[in-house]
Amino acid sequence: MTVILNSEKAIARSLEALLQADPTLASLAAIAGPLPQRKTPGGYAGLAGVVIAQQVSKAAADTIFGRLQAAVTPLTGAVLLDTPDEILRAAGLSRPKIRTLRAVAEAECDGLRLDAVLRLDAEDAVDALTPIPGIGRWTAECWLLFAAGHPDIFPARDLALQAAAHEALGLPERPDEKTLSALAGKWSPNRSVAARLLWAWYGATRTGGGAPV
C-alpha cells in the first residue's frame, strides 16, 4: 500500500481526481473549502485519540484527549497500563474506553506493532486491529485514514458521514453502513478524500465540526 495523503498538496491532488471522476461533488467542495490534512500520530497515542472520539463530538474528544495526555506522560501503552483507573476516569474516560485502551496496550505487550500495521493494505490492517476488544471497524478505519494517510478508506459506519451523505447528496433517508459503503465504491481509489470532503462539508454547514478526529 502506497500512502499518498501525507500532505495537504497530496489531498488536493486526490480531491481533483475525485471531482474529475464525479463532478456532482464540486458543489460540496465549494462549500467545504480546502481540505485539511488532520494527520494524527500513528502510534498508541493516535489510536487512543480515535478510541476517545467514539460516539462523542470532536470538541469533547479534543478536551478528553488533552486531559489524558496531561495525566499520562508520555501517552504510551506501557505508561497507561501503570496508570490507575481513577486518574483515567478523572480525565473523562468512560469505563469501556479505559478497558479498550488497556486492551490495546496489552496487545502491544503481546507483540502487536502498530507501526507495522500502518504499512499493511487496508483490509489486512483492519483485520489486525479489530480482534482487540473495543476496536471496531470504524476505529480501525479512522486511525488508518488519519494516521497512515491511506488513500482508499471510507468509514461508512461514521454517523457524521451518513448524515452528510443524506443531506449533501439528496438521499431520501440517511444511509446505513452497508448502503453508504456501496455508494462510496464509485469513488475508489479516492474514497479517503471523499470521506474528508463529506466531513468538511458537514462541518462547514453546522457548528462543532464534522470530522471525528
Predicted local confidence at residue 2, as pLDDT: 53
* Domain extent listing, the chain: 8-37+152-204, 44-148
Q: Which residue has the cell 489510536?
A: 47
> In this model, does residue 137 exceed pLDDT 90?
yes
Tell me how far CA of residue 169 lies from CA of 33, 51, 141, 198, 205, in angstroms.
Answer: 17, 29, 22, 10, 14
Chain mean pLDDT for the chain: 91
CATH architecture of 44-148: Orthogonal Bundle (1.10)
Q: Is this structure's pTM higher than 0.85? A: no
CATH 3.40.30.10 fits 8-37+152-204, yes or no: no
Predicted local confidence at residue 146, as pLDDT: 87
Dist. CA 128–CA 67, nearest whole Å: 28
Dist. CA 151–CA 128, nearest whole Å: 19
CB-facing half-sphere around the CA of 99: CA atoms within 13 A:
7
